[in-house]
Structure 1
Amino acid sequence: IYARVGDALLARSSPDPLYARWISMYGGEEFQTTVHDVLALTDRVGAELSEAETARVREHFVTTSRYEWMFWDAGYRRESWPI
């Protein structure tokens, strides 16, 4: 997700140096290559998993996806935390 977002934002960049740095990192060639390599490794390893292992991996993926969504949703709603 970050690679695709970074790639899409790279064309527009940002006048704010902090955002521009984030965009250039996630949209940059090094990050894109790393993501490609990790996805290829995931596909290769995933093809060798048993049904039980695949179910466990899927469960972890769904859980981490929920956390990621909650993180972005909290920012969108400008949620504050007491800590």
Structure 2
Amino acid sequence: MAACTRRADPDVIASPALREPLAETFAWLTGRIAEVLAEGQRRGEFTAALDPAETAAAVVAVVQGGYVLARSADSAEPFDRAIRGALALLAAHA
């Protein structure tokens, strides 16, 4: 399964038409997560030291990276570990 993903990646990278919807989706997702984190700050759920935009970018990267690692390992464990790590980092700012 991972081999199919690797073969498709160069096709996506080479095509602006294929990259554009992905870029738009990731930008929307990152922006939405940043909004949620900023709202959490306003409610006192996160410290002022948390940067919502930077943290949102990290969360998206962790989820996507965890997905890739899980696919390559044919196991959900790498994804689960990545998510637990991201939650621990967020908890440090609670």
TM-score range (shorter-chain normalised) is 0.3 to 0.5
- TM norm structure 1: 0.38
Higher relative contact order (CA 8 A, sep 6+): 2
Higher helix fraction: Structure 1 or Structure 2? 2
- TM norm structure 2: 0.34
Larger Rg: 1
